[in-house]
Amino acid sequence: MDGPERSSGGVERLRRWLLWVLVLGLAGTEAELLLLEHYEDRWQLVPLFLIAPAMVALGWHARRQDAASLRALRIIMVLFLVAGLTGLVLHFRGAAEFQLEIDPAMGTWDLVKKVMRAKAPPVLAPGVMLLLGLIGLAYALPNSREKGSEMS
């Protein structure tokens, strides 16, 4: 098994690894968010609600491997990217508001430093949604079997 056949097997192995990393990341993130009671307001529900359709789309695509399931998975993963970026902004704002309540005269640079070091809300925590979205998009790259069905 040389050339394209060998490389195609390597790509499929990598896709399986990406699938399992994504599934474990989704399950772990969902569990952590639930344990942290990350559902105080509607914005906090977004990552919780995005994980469920992501798992469904992954199961659908793993079984069918068709263009529709791949498209659905890609759309959900783009939503993960949007949610991650939005979460970073919301966490930053929340931490900044708290710091400004403590010291309203704080300068911009001092505020940014304090916010980035804050433990609640952890500013960079939503970055996990960005990572999961990127892993999902990498998994959802079309492979040679799907390229023909992608064109339709």
**Can you tell me whether residue 38 is helix, strand or coil?**
coil
- Which residues of the chain, if any, have pLDDT below 50? 1, 148-152
Q: What are the residue ranges spanned by the domains of the chain?
A: 4-139
Q: Which tokens belong to 120?
A: 């609640």
Task: Say what the pLDDT of residue 78 is.
Answer: 98
pLDDT at 152: 40
Q: What is the pLDDT of residue 7?
A: 64
Chain-centre distance of CA 64, in angstroms? 23
Confidence (pTM): 0.86
Q: Give the pLDDT score at 104.
A: 95
pLDDT of residue 144: 54
Q: Dihedral (C-alpha) 82, 85, 86, 90: value to the nearest 10 degrees?
A: 170
Residue 44: is it exposed, middle or buried by C-beta count within 10 angstroms (0-12/13-18/19+)? middle
DSSP class of residue 4 equals H
Dihedral sign, Cα of residue 50, residue 55, residue 59, residue 61: positive
